[in-house]
Structure 1
Amino acid sequence: MKKVLLTVLLGATGFGLYAQKLDKAKDLLGKKKLNDAKTEIDGVVAAEKTASNSDAWYTRAKIYAEISKDSSLKGSVPDAREQVLASLKKYTELEDAREKDPAKRYMAATLDGNAALIDVYSGYSKDGASFYNASNYNDALTNFKKTLETFDILYAKKIVPMALDTTTTLYAGISAEKANKPEEAAVYYGKIAEAKAKSDGFVEIYKWLADHYRQKGDVATSQKFSALGKEVYPQDPFWTGFDLEMLSEKGTKADLFKKYEDVIKENPDNHIFLFNYAVELYKEGYNEDVTKRPANSKELINKAAEMMKRTLEKKPDYANANMVMGQILYNQGVDVNTENKAIRPQGGTKLTPDQLKKKEELRLEVVKKFDEATPYFQKVVDLLDKQAKLKMDEKEILKNALDLMITVNEEKTAQLESKRNAAELAKKAAEVKQYEADIKKLQDQTTAFTEKFNNVDRKH
């Protein structure tokens, strides 16, 4: 029994000794004997018996805070501010464990006006700004990070009401971006976006995030920030175009087409969305090699033609749309012509009457498709050829339109020549005369188109 009592008394004596050292450290702090105060307090927090004393850790934060502001001392203790922050973190951790009632926590800091905490926040913030203004973005980022760490403690202690230090977070993101650390920039910008912060220029943060994750191939996260941007800045036209472009690059065709359907419902008068949707449908449905087309190729191509016609209803003078509509019809004619050429005599025998009938039907269908395509190509020529100056892509469109009109006329001429030859053999003079007139007309047109084709670059 005596032995146990003696041990308790020895423990009490030891604790009392360190309590005296804590009081001494406080006294030295009050007398501005900061080096001595630092020695005393470091001994207190290093001792096992007082390492869990929250008051000791707060006192240590105050001492190091004073050292960080003393021009004659801070050079010898370069990590003084870091020690303040570390001590404050330990202080809050111990207070949280010691007192279950939040109202009774952090009394020492509260009575002190949270001076140490505010000092360290202000110090890191000022240094961050100084490094930023000097274009030292790595050190700026380091200090802004520490500023935010301190802010988290301020918020946890309910000293500040807001959960996000928007300005510091913004500059941390900018510093990271300028320091070529995009992943860190994304973390800080992401906090701003997730808080749905809105201010002058903040729309660019949402755009940056959406594009950053698109480039990484993270479609879901990109869409998340695009959706947040659209929610906060609904009038900005960027979002719809961005989502469509991203799905075109990274998403599935099913998702892309569904998005187009939704966008067109929301923007029924926007001819660009209709045009781009038609192009995407056609790209998916058409391949020069028929064997490489998808099973639903016809449905896709027909839907593309429908969307392109709707585009032209909204904007009849849209050269691109006229060109693509003409190409769709022209390529359908080429497909039919390919089918026609595949019907050939086998083994030296002649074509059967049914085969001859089928070839004539297909020939007429080719001509029909080419005739349908021609007005669209002609519209391109009418729109662009009269302009004094064309952009490079407009020159290309005009030349393609003329080239296809030449090809169409040459094909129709070949068809008529075949018919004329057949009529001559049958001695049908009236038909021969009409065929020759039609051939002459097509040849004259072809010559005119060829001259225009050759003059595009010189004229424009």
Structure 2
Amino acid sequence: MKKTTFLLTTMMAFAIAGQAQRYEDIKTNILVSRFDEAKKDIDKGMSNEKFKSKPEAYILKATVYAALADDPKNAAQSEQLRQEAFDAFNKYKEMQPDGKLLEDIPYKNGPTYLHTTYFNAGYKDYQEKKWGEGLPKFEKVVALSDYMIEKKLFGAPLDTNALILAGIMAENDSKTDIAAKYYARLADAKIQGQGFEDIYKFLVRHSFTKKDMASFDKYRALGTQLYPQSEFFKYDQTDFAVGLEETLDAKIKGLEQVLVNDPNNYKSSLLLGQLIYDTLYSDKEGAVKPANAAELETKMISTFKKASDLDAKEVLPNLYLGEYFINKALALNDKKDAVSAEIKKATKPGAQPSKENVAKKEAVDKELDETYESARVYYERAGELFAKKTNLSGPEKQQYKNVAGYLGDIYTYKKDKAKGKPAEIAKYTEQEKKWNDIYGTIR
């Protein structure tokens, strides 16, 4: 019994020594770049359970297969060799999480060779514009360099080349979320220099598109800091809401999203109103109002009113509202004349108009009164703001003159409507004279 135990122990010792010798033989072949010979030993060893029971087997396989994948003579099998090398490396990491073997040459060559072969293959795809094929390769390159940085096998804190190329491949393959992930790592490290400005521009656009305003502000600020001469980073959320979109509906939704995030954004409120106004009252030949014009009109009025309330020193919202209501009043005047003509035609000489027709005329009169009053409110606000300004520009003088002229007309209308009310007539006459005098003094 003792003799048998001795023989088994001796046989096991020889077997272990044999496996160790095989690892050493493979390491030696790696060191002298005899990778074909090393592969033969690895392939033979992998058929042996004891050989492949240790992490050494997998890091050696990763090293040899990666080196062979990058050899031009193996071009036909390069993809398979690379994948097997990568799988072997992942198995090694699983078996030895602390990466202890990588402290020793040639084991540390494993991730380096893998990084090199995937980078070279990916770069070839980049040159040939094979974005979809190259992206997975560069994703592996980034993963490998991250691992090597963690294990202090990489000489820089960031693999800039791998990250930029991974981002480019993803961007060109329309995988913008993936591109943003890699570009963000570069931007967060404040990488700068020729060509890198576009990374920050991409992240600003992408963040806005994803409605991630915190990231939008972050990368816009970084771009401003690193590229202070660039006009791009001076554009704010409002500019992007309009500039990035093509259709009216998309522009409106973009501005409304800005206002959801920043309800007191004067610029977005004003621009939203202007956008709708220019659409509803376009001076382009053949322009047609959209089907939802009534809805847009309501939105425009409330938006301009909000802008006027947000900044009481700004003239434009009041000018737009004044112009909207005065034009509406002119249209109502035409409607009033048409209703009067219709009633006259329907009423026999000497007879009284029907109650229905009287009510119809009174409704138009009421709406006209209210519309003129709304125009008055906003034009007077604009007039007061113009009066406080010094050195008005030419366009501002013309705007002020128009405001004064319309206010004179509005008070004339109110004075005529106030028959039999001396106090109101006197008040409106005074205001009529005031604005007519202002109109006459503006040159």
Q: TM-score range by the shorter chain?
A: 0.5 to 0.7
Once the two structures are TM-superposed, the CA of residue 164 in structure 1 deviates from its matched residue by 4.6
Q: Tell me, what secondary structure is at the counterpart of 2:52?
A: coil
Q: Is the 8 A contact 1:274 1:308 kept in 2?
A: no
Partners of 2:61 and 2:106 lie apart in 1 by 14
Indicate yes or no: 2:328 matched with 1:326: no
Partners of 1:85 and 1:121 lie apart in 2 by 10
Indicate yes or no: 2:139 matched with 1:149: no
Indicate yes or no: 2:392 matched with 1:362: no
- Measured against aligned partners, the alpha-carbon deviations of 1:291-345 in whole angstroms (never above 9, x if no partner) come to 9659x95x972652563699996577xxx99567413432266468869988998
Partners of 2:53 and 2:165 lie apart in 1 by 36
Partners of 2:367 and 2:69 lie apart in 1 by 92
Once the two structures are TM-superposed, the CA of residue 283 in structure 1 deviates from its matched residue by 10
Over 3 Å counting, the alpha-carbon distance change for 1:112 and 1:335 in structure 2 is farther
Q: Tell me, what secondary structure is at the counterpart of 1:170?
A: helix
Q: Is the 8 A contact 2:59 2:88 kept in 1?
A: yes
**Matched residue type, 1:148:** V
- Measured against aligned partners, the alpha-carbon deviations of 1:75-100 in whole angstroms (never above 9, x if no partner) come to 5752444444333333232211xxxx
- Measured against aligned partners, the alpha-carbon deviations of 1:219-253 in whole angstroms (never above 9, x if no partner) come to 44x54542332342357133422554489738598
Partners of 1:227 and 1:6 lie apart in 2 by 75
**Matched residue type, 1:62:** T
Determine the structure 2 residue equivalent to 1:226.
Answer: 216
Q: Which among 174, 183, 190 is matched to residue 192 of structure 1?
A: 183
Partners of 1:324 and 1:161 lie apart in 2 by 64
Partners of 2:315 and 2:293 lie apart in 1 by 35
TM-score by length of 2: 0.58
Q: Tell me, what secondary structure is at the counterpart of 2:353?
A: coil
Determine the structure 2 residue equivalent to 1:395.
Answer: none
Determine the structure 1 residue equivalent to 2:304.
Answer: 304
- Measured against aligned partners, the alpha-carbon deviations of 1:11-45 in whole angstroms (never above 9, x if no partner) come to 66654443343334334445654333211112223
Once the two structures are TM-superposed, the CA of residue 53 in structure 1 deviates from its matched residue by 1.0
Once the two structures are TM-superposed, the CA of residue 187 in structure 1 deviates from its matched residue by 0.5
**Matched residue type, 1:193:** A
Q: Is the 8 A contact 2:325 2:375 kept in 1?
A: no
Partners of 2:224 and 2:41 lie apart in 1 by 60
**Matched residue type, 1:278:** G
Once the two structures are TM-superposed, the CA of residue 168 in structure 1 deviates from its matched residue by 1.6
Determine the structure 2 residue equivalent to 1:52.
Answer: 53
Over 3 Å counting, the alpha-carbon distance change for 1:327 and 1:228 in structure 2 is same
Over 3 Å counting, the alpha-carbon distance change for 1:2 and 1:328 in structure 2 is farther
TM-score by length of 1: 0.56
Partners of 1:360 and 1:176 lie apart in 2 by 62
Q: How does 1:101-180 map to 2 (within 5 A)?
A: 102=98, 105-112=99-106, 114-138=108-132, 140-160=134-154, 164-178=158-172
Indicate yes or no: 2:74 matched with 1:74: yes
Partners of 2:306 and 2:21 lie apart in 1 by 89
**Matched residue type, 2:41:** E
Indicate yes or no: 2:204 matched with 1:238: no
Determine the structure 2 residue equivalent to 1:350.
Answer: 353
Q: Is the 8 A contact 2:164 2:182 kept in 1?
A: no
Once the two structures are TM-superposed, the CA of residue 208 in structure 1 deviates from its matched residue by 3.4
Q: Is the 8 A contact 1:44 1:51 kept in 2?
A: yes
Q: Is the 8 A contact 2:66 2:117 kept in 1?
A: no
Over 3 Å counting, the alpha-carbon distance change for 1:115 and 1:174 in structure 2 is same
Over 3 Å counting, the alpha-carbon distance change for 1:7 and 1:108 in structure 2 is farther
* Structure 2 alignment gaps of length 5 or more: 226-232, 282-288, 383-393, 417-443
Q: Tell me, what secondary structure is at the counterpart of 2:188?
A: coil
Q: How does 1:10-89 map to 2 (within 5 A)?
A: 14-29=15-30, 32-68=33-69, 74-75=74-75, 77-79=77-79, 80-89=81-90
CA RMSD of aligned residues (A): 5.6
Indicate yes or no: 2:273 matched with 1:278: yes
Over 3 Å counting, the alpha-carbon distance change for 1:337 and 1:7 in structure 2 is farther
- Measured against aligned partners, the alpha-carbon deviations of 1:198-231 in whole angstroms (never above 9, x if no partner) come to 324545435435655776xxx44x5454233234
Partners of 1:112 and 1:141 lie apart in 2 by 29
* Structure 1 alignment gaps of length 5 or more: 97-101, 265-271, 377-381, 387-400, 410-414, 420-460
Over 3 Å counting, the alpha-carbon distance change for 1:157 and 1:32 in structure 2 is closer
Determine the structure 2 residue equivalent to 1:90.
Answer: 91
Partners of 2:85 and 2:95 lie apart in 1 by 15
- Measured against aligned partners, the alpha-carbon deviations of 1:228-284 in whole angstroms (never above 9, x if no partner) come to 3234235713342255448973859875434464433xxxxxxx6453143478799
**Matched residue type, 2:180:** Y
Q: Is the 8 A contact 1:117 1:150 kept in 2?
A: yes
Over 3 Å counting, the alpha-carbon distance change for 1:306 and 1:13 in structure 2 is closer
Identity within the alignment, %: 16
Once the two structures are TM-superposed, the CA of residue 361 in structure 1 deviates from its matched residue by 5.4
